[in-house]
Amino acid sequence: MSTNVKIDTMIVNNNPAIKLLVFNGQMDETNLENLSSILDKIINKEEHETRYILLNFKDLEFLNSKVIGYLASTYAQANELDKKMIIVEANQNINDILSLVGLTTIIDNYNSLTEALEFIATDNSDV
Amino acid sequence: MNTLPPIKIAVPANLQLSEGLREFVSNILRVVGFDQTWTNRLVLVVDEVFMNAVKYGSVENKSEVQLSFYPKQDHLFICIEDEGNGGKKVEVEELKGIISANEENNDLTKSSGRGLSLIVTNWTDNYEIEKSDQGGTRVNITKYYNTTDKTPVPTTDKNKKIITPRAVPHQPEDIFIYEFKAKYDIHSEEDKSHLLSTVENCGKKLVILDMKNVTYINSVFIGLITKVYNKLNLAEGMLALCNLSSQIEDTLNLVGLSNILILADNLEEAKSLILSR
């Protein structure tokens, strides 16, 4: 039985270019596939309209290096396909971990969804 | 902190048990007296080491990983040991080499290698890897209690610097300046240990590293600087770097060290900054 996590996905403001993933629980190697099955589809396969992938970590209690590694490599892949991953509302524990490993220097990180959407609005006026 | 007898458990080598183990470890750390920040950090440290023990030192569901917690007067000692019978068995020296190689890789988009090289190195005061009596690998971790109050929690706001006002101002004679020798070799064990031992024995808490002879750094060197910073921070000291090349300064910015280190263009500026804190 893998670690408990719930990942809800939704489109933001009826805009298919912006997809929001909301995490609740803990992420580690045992349930990484829950995330990869969602993200791989968004980034590599079917969802061509999606340009921004927002990861809401407000209720994410834990993630380890296996998950961090997946996020880092997926970020790079997304970038190559002109898609952008953004972290929003990371709680203190998650921020602590992401800062230590330097992920906050490559993946944009906003304290609120509103701030992230403001950035997206200025990043690309077509969105 | 609460003094407790040693706590020892044997966990079947199965990552499905990680979540429960994290909860258990979290409870121990809270009872011992760590605050929430350090409880979270050390839970991740134990998780990373447990993950390695299961993947490289065990046969899934057949082996056990032994975890022991020894609360001492001023520190917690944690010992995590595998049986060394995994199919992907990695010898102790080989593991040390892997950690070192991962430390040398600055690529933040790489998919693996952060567990021991960054997380365990930075969030413990000491860790050792040795061969156990049963032929497996034992990781020994030391974490002092008194860093719980001192280490600031990093933020993603790069403009935030945490400055604690001093009651008694520092004097110039309180500063120790370390100048790297010409053609400093970042791969040399001798050069690395010289820096650490010199800072430890200088008797001063304010240290400036003059980087004019250092032309290149990698994450081994970054790990070294972090160790020096942690040691000084533990003693309420400070670390400044000066005469950095633009390349080195970029690297320190990239890994976020510019948020906690004092960086100066030259030695005089470094002295001035360090004395004004």
Q: Do B256 and A75 lie within an 8 Å CB cutoff?
A: no
Q: What is the pLDDT of residue B49?
A: 92
Distance (Å) from the alpha carbon of A107 to chain B's nearest alpha carbon: 10
Q: Kindly identify which residue of chain B lies nearest to residue A31, measuring between CA atoms.
A: B16
Average pLDDT over residues B219-243: 76
Who has greater pLDDT, A54 or B88?
A: A54
Is residue B149 pLDDT above 90, yes or no? no
B139 pLDDT band (50/70/90 cuts)?
very high
Q: Kindly identify which residue of chain A lies nearest to residue B115, measuring between CA atoms.
A: A65
* pTM for this model (two decimals): 0.66
B259-268 pLDDT tens trace: 668 888 888 8
Mutation for testing the B interface, residue in A28, A33, A64, A89 having most B CBs under 10 Å: A64
Is residue A56 pLDDT above 90, yes or no? yes
Closest residue to A30, CB basis, from B15, B41, B123: B15
Who has greater pLDDT, A7 or A76?
A: A7
- Look at residues A80, A33, A78, A28 and name the one whose alpha carbon lies nearest to residue A53: A78
Is residue B203 pLDDT above 90, yes or no? no
Average pLDDT over residues A62-90: 91
Share of chain A above pLDDT 90, in %: 66
Average pLDDT over residues B224-236: 73
Share of chain B above pLDDT 70, in %: 69
Highest mean pLDDT among B36-45, B95-104, B210-219, B250-259: B36-45
> Residue B262 forms beta bridges with which residues?
B240
Average pLDDT over residues B28-36: 92
- Length of chain B, in residues: 277
Which segments of chain B does DSSP mark as H helices, in order?
Answer: 18-32, 36-57, 92-104, 114, 121-122, 189-201, 219-234, 246-254, 267-276
A85 contacts A75 by C-beta, under 8 angstroms: yes
- Look at residues B232, B241, B233 and name the one whose alpha carbon lies nearest to residue B177: B241
Average pLDDT over residues A12-31: 94
Q: What is the pLDDT of residue B214?
A: 83
Q: CA angle, B224 as apex, A69 and B42 as ends, to 5°?
A: 50
Is residue B156 pLDDT above 60, yes or no? no
